[in-house]
């Protein structure tokens, strides 16, 4: 098991890959310097002789050509000869005796030279020749030197392939030392780099384990790399969001428990009163039964709102976007608040200006308006005045719901849209709605790709708003 974990660890893999890379480099050096050195040397020598020979062919006939032959032969350490068609030496002739005797190339060698030159596809030939009289093979280059004054001549270049065994042995000894040093350094350096790379990851893992156990106060520490720092920033943000979610979960339990407990307590109390006191008194019985029905309705509203929120946020409701007059929709939503006008002294004012035909799902937008008005009622104080402004802004229509209630602290403005969030953390039983209306508002408006927000000051009230595209201005 331990061996398995070690084999899959990042540290082990980095260490292994680094060693494999170093070993590959060393192996390539051995192959190039030892195994393929002779072949590489012969190829380079062949290319060098070919380049010299072709250059001399191009310079044939120019003034000072013999000087070029002499200089090239001395500088490059090669034998350069000019032969006639019978194999006799034309250059170099070092003495009068050479001129009179005209030394010739060995017949077998000259015949082999001519055969190779005739079979060559190019105007020159270069080949390797084994000579038993010498300790090493030679390279022979041959080309035809066209002569306008008579028969052609031949350029004959002969160069020994110097033995490189001693050089190879020296290189081999050096490579053994280099290999040992390189492998040692690779082992140490790769282990250091692997440890350096994995240490911040291990630290993040340990912190994540604490987070998984419910410690939301942990803070992930940054490392020495940009990628690690980006990961740490993301995890720290995630930790904060998880902390907020945990806090919201506790609030949910407290708030929903309160919203469930109060009507259930009233239902039970009034049911017992009917049983024990008002069973035979029709007037009291009807009052108690009405109270039970009202509280049951509140429970039903709470459950329905929670289901609606879930449906909207999970996309179970299919939106049907059409054009509708948001002013008329607002007037229809206000009819549901007639009780607050007749019994609690609330006043609602609608101000509509311009073209207010918008594109969207009318029933969902009506729910948004209803929830915003409901929220304004729940947080109103002595000034029971709620204004609704519907404004034509060109390609968009803006709707505002303004109250003069308790207001919202600036630090809480970004959180009020969260599911089950309660302003000020003090639970207040809503006079209308379930207390999760703003979460539904947010989900519906996001589905409409609408702009929305809130402006508020403590003790001065709040202004909630959203903007929808006009019908025909944008196709969602």
Say yes or no: 153 and 184 in one domain: no
User: Bridge partners of 127?
Assistant: 140
For residue range 450-466, what is the model confidence (pLDDT) as tens digits? 999 999 888 889 999 99
In a domain, 368, yes or no: yes
299 neighbors 427 (Cβ within 8 angstroms): no
**How far is Cα 403 from Cα 375, in angstroms, rounded to an integer?**
9
Which pLDDT score is estimated for 426?
47
Assess whether pLDDT exceeds 70 at residue 422.
no
Work out how many domains the chain is built from and give that number.
4
pTM of the model: 0.46
Residues 42 and 117 in one domain: yes
Phi then psi for residue 200, to 5 deg, are -65, -30
DSSP 95: S
Average pLDDT, the chain: 79
Same domain, 278 and 199: no
Cα distances (Å, whole numbers) of residue 250 to 209, 211, 257:
22, 18, 11
Q: What is the pLDDT of residue 165?
A: 56
More confident residue, 63 or 11: 63
Q: Shortest CA distance to 438 belongs to which of 424, 452, 449?
A: 452
pLDDT of residue 316: 45
pLDDT at 430 over 60: no
Q: Give backbone dihedrals phi and psi of 461, rounded to 5 degrees, phi first.
A: 105, -175
pLDDT value at 112 more than 50: yes
Rounded average pLDDT over 380-402: 92
Query: Could you tell me which of 244, 69, 77 has the C-alpha nearest to residue 156?
Result: 69
Same domain, 170 and 208: yes
Measure CA 120 to chain center. Answer: 59
Q: How confident is the model at residue 427 (pLDDT cuts 50, 70, 90)?
A: very low
397 part of a folded domain:
yes
Rounded Cα gap, residues 92 and 342, in angstroms: 131
18 alpha carbon, distance to own chain's centre: 25
pLDDT of residue 106: 82
Assigned domain for 219 exists: no
Note the pLDDT tens digit of each residue in 30-54. 776 666 666 777 788 889 989 999 9
Please, what is the end-to-end C-alpha distance for the chain in angstroms?
Answer: 56
Confidence of residue 425 (pLDDT cuts 50, 70, 90): very low
Question: In this predicted structure, what is the pLDDT of residue 251?
Answer: 64
Domain stops at, among 144, 163, 182? 163
- 394 versus 416: the higher-pLDDT residue is 394
Decide if 218 is inside a domain: no
Dihedral sign of CA atoms 224, 225, 229, 231 in order: negative
Distances (CA, A) of 76 to 60, 116, 143, 255, 359: 18, 24, 18, 98, 90
In a domain, 221, yes or no: no
Q: Is the pLDDT of residue 325 over 60?
A: yes
CB distance 329 to 352 below 8 Å: no
Kindly list the strands in the beta sheet with 124-129, ordered across the sheet, starting from the edge strand earlier in the chain.
89-91, 79-83, 153-160, 138-145, 124-129
User: In this structure, are 322 and 460 located in the same domain?
Assistant: yes
107 found inside a domain: yes
- Secondary structure element (H or E) that encloses residue 238, with its range: helix 226-273
Q: Is the bond into 306 cis (omega within 30 degrees of 0)?
A: no
Q: Rounded to an integer, what distance in angstroms lies between the CA atom of residue 49 and that of residue 60?
A: 17
List strands edge to edge, sheet with 347-353.
Answer: 347-353, 385-392, 396-403, 461-469, 451-457
Residue 113 structure tokens: 């030279």
Whether pLDDT at 400 is above 70: yes
> Same domain for 436 and 330?
yes
- The last residue of one of the domains, among 266, 284, 309, is 309
The domain of 298 spans: 226-309
Residue 44 lies in a domain: yes
What percentage of the chain's residues is helix, strand, coil (to nearest 5)? Answer: 55, 15, 25
402 dihedral zone (left: phi>0; alpha: psi -120 to 50; beta): beta
CB 461 within 8 A of CB 440: no
Residue 201 has pLDDT above 60, yes or no: yes
Q: What would the pLDDT profile of 169-181 be if each residue is shown by its tens digit?
A: 666 777 777 777 7
Is residue 172 located within the same domain as residue 98? no
Q: Are residues 271 and 419 in the same domain?
A: no
Same domain for 257 and 404?
A: no
pLDDT tens per residue, range 331-364: 999 998 888 888 888 999 999 989 999 999 898 8
- 244: burial class by Cβ within 10 Å (0-12, 13-18, 19+)? middle
Lowest mean pLDDT among 271-275, 318-322, 422-426, 464-468: 422-426
Same domain, 24 and 153: no
Domain stop point among 144, 177, 212: 212
Q: Phi/psi at 324 (nearest 5 deg)? A: -155, 160
Q: Are residues 414 and 324 in the same domain?
A: yes
Please tell me the predicted confidence (pLDDT) of residue 419. Answer: 52
CATH (domain of 103): 3.30.450.20
Which of residues 208 and 258 earns the better pLDDT score?
208
Cβ–Cβ < 8 Å for 460, 407: yes
- Residues 76 and 143: their CA atoms lie apart, in Å, by 18
Examine residue 180 and state whether it is found in any structural domain, yes or no.
Answer: yes
**Same structural domain, 390 and 245:** no
pLDDT in tens, 280-317: 777 777 777 887 787 777 777 667 766 666 666 555 45
Q: In whole angstroms, how large is the CA radius of gyration of the chain?
A: 49
pLDDT of residue 348: 94
């Amino acid at each position: 098991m331990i061996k398995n974990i070690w084999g899959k660890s990042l540290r082990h893999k980095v260490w292994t890959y680094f060693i494999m890379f170093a070993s590959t480099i060393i192996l390539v050096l051995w192959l190039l310097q030892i195994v393929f050195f002779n072949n590489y040397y012969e190829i380079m020598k062949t290319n060098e002789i070919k380049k010299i020979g072709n250059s001399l062919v191009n310079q044939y006939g120019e003034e000072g050509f013999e000087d070029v032959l002499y200089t090239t032969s001395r500088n490059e350490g090669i034998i350069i000869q000019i032969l006639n068609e019978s194999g006799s030496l034309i250059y170099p002739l070092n003495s009068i005796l050479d001129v009179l005797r005209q030394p010739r190339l060995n017949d077998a060698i000259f015949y082999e030279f001519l055969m190779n030159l005739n079979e060559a596809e190019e105007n020159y030939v270069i080949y390797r020749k084994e000579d038993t009289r010498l300790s090493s093979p030679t390279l022979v280059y041959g080309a035809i030197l066209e002569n306008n004054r008579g028969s052609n001549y031949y350029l004959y270049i002969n160069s020994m392939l110097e033995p490189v065994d001693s050089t190879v042995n020296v290189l081999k000894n050096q490579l053994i030392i280099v290999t040992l040093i390189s492998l040692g350094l690779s082992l140490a350096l790769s282990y250091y780099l692997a440890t350096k790379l994995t240490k911040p990851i291990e630290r993040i893992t340990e912190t994540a384990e604490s987070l998984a156990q419910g410690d939301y106060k942990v803070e992930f520490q940054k490392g020495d790399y940009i990628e690690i720092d980006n990961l740490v920033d993301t995890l720290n943000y995630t930790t904060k969001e998880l902390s907020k979610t945990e806090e919201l979960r506790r609030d949910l339990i407290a708030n929903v428990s309160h919203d469930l407990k109060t009507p259930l307590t009233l239902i039970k109390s009034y049911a017992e009163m009917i049983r024990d006191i008002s069973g035979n008194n029709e007037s009291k019985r009807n009052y108690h039964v009405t109270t039970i029905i009202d509280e049951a309705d509140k429970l039903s509203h709470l459950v329905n709102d929670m289901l609606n929120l879930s449906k909207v946020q999970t996309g179970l409701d299919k939106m049907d976007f059409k054009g509708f007059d948001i002013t008329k929709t607002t007037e229809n939503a206000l009819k549901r608040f007639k009780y607050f006008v007749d019994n609690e002294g609330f006043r609602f004012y609608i101000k509509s200006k311009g073209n207010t035909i918008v594109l969207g799902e009318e029933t969902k937008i009506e729910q948004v308006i209803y929830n915003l008005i409901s929220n304004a009622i729940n947080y109103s104080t002595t000034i029971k005045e709620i204004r609704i402004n519907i404004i034509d802004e060109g390609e968009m229509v803006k709707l505002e719901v303004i109250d003069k209630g308790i207001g919202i602290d600036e630090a809480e403005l970004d959180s009020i849209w969260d599911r089950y969030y309660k302003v000020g953390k003090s639970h207040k039983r809503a006079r209308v709605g379930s207390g999760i209306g703003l979460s539904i508002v947010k989900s519906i408006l996001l589905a409409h790709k609408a702009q929305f927000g809130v402006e508020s000051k403590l003790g001065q009230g709040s202004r909630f708003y959203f903007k929808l595209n006009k019908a025909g201005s944008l196709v969602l």
